Structure 1
């Protein structure tokens, strides 16, 4: 999600200044994506430059609220009606880490997988606890929690798949009793074990 569109969505509710927008953004997303106040004001400056928001006069406390323009509403409508492409999402750091671990000498890949699995399962338990304690009328927060739970479950399944692939590769190598080459790295059959 872009901060730009998040701020436009919040301004569709009514005029607000930077700190209000940051608080509303974090409240709306369950603080799963904390914003730096500098990001908020930098984004507001760009939105104003692009005529998607307009700055209003300062209030008595010296705060300058912003309001969404018709062009901003149109951009927001396009964003809501356009599906999110996988190319629009940030790179998957875990997939990159495991790919590099496989080709980096001296890295114990099963340990990398297991360390991540433990952390992901712990996060999954935390998300489940949050969902149990959540206000059942707060649909937005419940949907965000569901998304985090489903992603964590998928990550655990993928890690299980990675580990099983390493075990199969090591087993195939041990029947030939020769090390398996994996790119520039050699995986010794005895170095891959199922946990």
Structure 2
């Protein structure tokens, strides 16, 4: 077998492997769970700093609480909750929204946002570097970062960001100092 054929074969196999990994992970695309929406917030304390791509998106948002939403265009619950997240971002000036497109194609991400006439901050995570660093194994997953950008709360799965209980929880969280979040 010639060197060129070997190189082409390796390239094809690598492409197939990457495509398979992107379509299979994260393993779960979670739907809404039962119970009070306010019960869905889990306290967390992640020691890992934001990976560089996410840190670049967070730097201009210093001093503000941030919702970091891990999602994908191929995840139906993610697509369903995104308009409510964007609406929350627009309605609450003390909170910023950063979306992390997990194992997704950026042309699909841009098309989704253009179709919905929204323009949130988007960080690409095609190889799931950010997802792995912050232990995200379900989509959608949203982390609430305090004003110092430390992850404090997590919601796994779809949630209705329009409900009064959820918005009150977010407002209360955004109003706290990092030491009290």
After TM superposition, is the score higher than 0.5? Answer: no
| Larger relative contact order (CA 8 Å, sep ≥ 6) | 2
Counting helix residues as a fraction of each chain, which structure ranks higher? 1
Q: TM-score, normalised by structure 2?
A: 0.24
Q: TM-score, normalised by structure 1?
A: 0.23
Name which one, 1 or 2, has greater alpha-carbon Rg. 1
